[in-house]
């Protein structure tokens, strides 16, 4: 009888609590990556809102709203499919943007990095191989930043001040280390969700109604095997035109923050 009661209690505990749901780290940009679904993408952790208040000069989700400016940003660059198409559009529209580069892609597509710099766009550090920073040791996290900085320096002449953590995920301890290195973490307040492979109308619909003075817009210019950013490529000319019709000036994040770089 006692054994029966014990087994019953254990069964009830398993049913009640079950396994904890945790965000899954995507390998979409890592070497030898496999295509992942939207369900596999880690979420942006809610602590971002607290960091915005606690680290006002180090952790940003948008720029100052005092000027009618918008910063278009492109993560996961470079690649040889979507990055050149996006650069062609920006050149034709005489618009500048900010590209957050992934280290192993810099090694793979150096000529594309050179073009980004030569055409006057700004650059930020987006890690070496796109891990979730919250899952890294201190040493591994710092190596992600330092290694990518060293890859960027030959193209720009200096290490970038701006850091964008993959998925927007970062810990307080990591922010404090970056702050000591005079780095600035730049996330976003407008998300295109283009990594889902959505069409141009959906990309524009996720951006244009949500832009305000000082907005930092997240898009992508590189993806893993099987990824499709055609929605961003086709939407970008219209997005630029519509923002300008609304009186917005398109600037780099560095320009928005009045930085020298």
**Residue positions annotated with a catalytic role:** 75, 220
The DSSP line for 130-183 is ---GGGS-HHHHHHHHHHHHHHHHHHHSS--SEE--GGG---HHHHHHHHHTT-
Secondary structure letter of residue 67 according to DSSP: S
- Angle, helices 172-180 vs 138-156, to 10°: value is 40
* Residue 217 three-state SS: strand
| CA dist 54 → 14, 64, 87, 142 (Å) | 39, 17, 36, 22
Among 244, 216, 241, CA closest to 75: 216
**Helices of type H across the chain:** 2-17, 47-54, 82-93, 103-108, 110-118, 138-156, 172-180, 200-207, 230-245, 253-256
* Residue 190 three-state SS: strand
Angle CA 120–123–128, to nearest 5: 145
Among 132, 109, 115, CA closest to 23: 132
Sign of CA dihedral 150, 156, 159, 162: negative
């Amino acid at each position: 009888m006692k054994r029966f009661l014990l087994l019953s209690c254990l069964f009830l505990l398993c049913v009640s609590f079950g396994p904890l749901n945790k965000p899954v780290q995507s390998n979409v940009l890592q070497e030898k990556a496999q295509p992942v679904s939207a369900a596999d993408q880690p979420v942006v952790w809610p602590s971002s809102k607290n960091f915005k208040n606690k680290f006002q000069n180090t952790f940003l989700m948008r720029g100052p709203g005092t000027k009618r400016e918008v910063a278009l940003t492109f993560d996961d660059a470079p690649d040889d499919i979507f990055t050149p198409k996006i650069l062609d559009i920006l050149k034709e529209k005489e618009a500048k943007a900010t590209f957050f580069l992934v280290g192993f892609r810099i090694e793979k597509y150096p000529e594309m990095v050179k073009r980004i710099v030569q055409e006057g766009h700004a650059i930020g550090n987006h890690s070496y191989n796109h891990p979730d920073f919250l899952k890294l040791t201190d040493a591994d996290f710092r190596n992600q930043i330092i290694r990518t900085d060293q890859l960027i320096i030959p193209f720009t002449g200096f290490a970038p001040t701006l850091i964008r953590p993959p998925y927007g995920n970062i810990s307080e301890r990591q922010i404090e280390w970056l702050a000591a290195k005079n780095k600035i973490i730049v996330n976003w307040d407008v998300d295109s969700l283009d990594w889902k492979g959505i069409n141009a109308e959906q990309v524009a619909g996720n951006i244009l109604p949500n832009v305000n003075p000082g907005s930092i817009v997240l898009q992508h210019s590189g993806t893993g095997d099987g990824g499709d950013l055609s929605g961003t490529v086709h939407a970008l000319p219209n997005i630029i035109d519509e923002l300008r019709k609304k009186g917005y000036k398109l600037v780099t994040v560095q320009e928005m923050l009045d930085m020298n770089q």
